[in-house]
Structure 1
Amino acid sequence: MLPDGYSDVPAGKLAAVVTHLEMRKPPQLGPDPEQPGITLAHVETPDTAWYRDLYARVGTDWLWDSRLRMAESDLAAILTNPDVEVYAVMKDGRAEGLLELDFREEGACELAFFGLTPAMVGNGTGRWLMNRAIARAWSREGHAPIGRFWVHTCTLDSPQALNFYIRSGFVPVKRQVEVFDDPRLTGVLPETAAPQVPILRA
């Protein structure tokens, strides 16, 4: 347990407050914004290079790095697992958003990754994508129904993320502090990424 008061974070590290959220039954879906020219494609066997490119374009501003530093074989094992579903938001033939649903835990689904490239933000596409994520998680054909749909977000993510999840029907249930190497100093992400988060060098 962390003590009350301030705790030092070593130089070269980042600290984030992580909030875990869940829903135990399907919520009433919000309005479904029209998205002309946008489709959601199920990518059944994602190529790891394609996946890393999309993951980076969606997550670099928020310092997503876990899938970029993962060993190729480990990432491929996840992406080809039949209980992991990867979807791409497609516009003009190009993937501009990522939805990853992880059903590997029996009776549950994790909203493992959810996000859009900067060009897609602010047009209602996030709500459109969340409506499809919720519908898919709770109605997966040919499998036993889930009893829990969950996600986690942190203070390094978009400032709108936490309230967006709550408005979507997720309920906060747990809070943690995560300390980890700054990916801009390990070479996983460029040092120009996420300028809103200062780099503290060792």
Structure 2
Amino acid sequence: MTNTQSPLPSPLEDGIHELPSGKLATIVTYLEMFARPTPRPVPEQPGLELIRHKAPDLDWYRVLYRRVGEDWLWFSRMYMQDAKLSAILTDPDVEVYSARKDGVDLGLLELDFRDPDNTELAFFGLDTSLIGGGTGRWLMEHALDKAFTRPIKRFFVHTCTLDSPQAVGFYIRSGFVPYGRAIEVMDDPRMNGPLSETAAPQIPRI
């Protein structure tokens, strides 16, 4: 998930728009729901537990953020200054969880309740070792339970074409409904940025 806030206010002119070297473009899809969907059955997840982290250590957080997001070029939190990131993660209306297996944190769930009318599934991701076998569904059911434990009005998320190709379909199956689309252009975070040159090899550096 990238750092986009809302869809573009007007459509772009039709056609192909070339990007200069060092830039990336992605199509962002916005999805929302207004009530807790009917829970879906979840396969057993032996040895897996969900851990709440209040005021998480920034180094720990960035390691996990990179672990689950580097393959999809998650970068927004990697640019963020310590004070700003700490202010978010220590806010009582931001909840950070890890999916932990055999003592190792392998998944990230972050819920942002700071806007009481618009609760955001801010970050949701798994290490590749946990992908498959229903672990994503397990984590999403936990996310939905925790989100709708509070008297929220709207739960929303956005994903983009840099993320897993399965992301949009997964969110729809989880009960989210698409409502908007945007194009985001950004510096490639592998070009003198916070991510390594070998990150996301499926997206060529130009």
TM-score (norm 2): 0.93
Equivalent in the alignment of 2:3: none
Equivalent in the alignment of 2:190: 184
% same residue: 60
Does structure 1 residue 120 correspond to structure 2 residue 126?
no
Q: What does the per-residue CA deviation read over 1:82-139, in whole Å, with 9 as the maximum and x for residues that have no partner? A: 0000000011111000000000112221000000011111121100000010111001
Distance 2:62 2:40 in 1: 31
By how many angstroms is 1:24 displaced? Answer: 1.0
Moved over 6 A (4+): none
Which deviates further from its counterpart, 182-191 or 172-181?
182-191
Distance 1:2 1:108 in 2: 27
Equivalent in the alignment of 2:36: 26
Runs (5+) with no aligned partner, structure 2: 1-10
Distance 1:186 1:169 in 2: 38
Equivalent in the alignment of 2:102: 92
For 2:127, the aligned partner's letter is: T
Structure 2 contact 98–105 (Cα < 8 Å) conserved: yes
Distance 2:43 2:61 in 1: 26
- State how 1:10-21 maps to structure 2 within 5 Å: 10-21=20-31
By how many angstroms is 1:33 displaced? Answer: 1.5
Equivalent in the alignment of 1:167: 173
Distance 1:125 1:198 in 2: 29
- State how 1:29-68 maps to structure 2 within 5 Å: 29-68=39-78
Specify the SS of the correspondent of 2:76. Answer: coil
Specify the SS of the correspondent of 1:130. Answer: helix
Indicate the RMSD between aligned Cα atoms, in angstroms. Answer: 0.8
Equivalent in the alignment of 1:9: 19
Runs (5+) with no aligned partner, structure 1: none
Distance 2:77 2:192 in 1: 14
Specify the SS of the correspondent of 2:122. Answer: strand
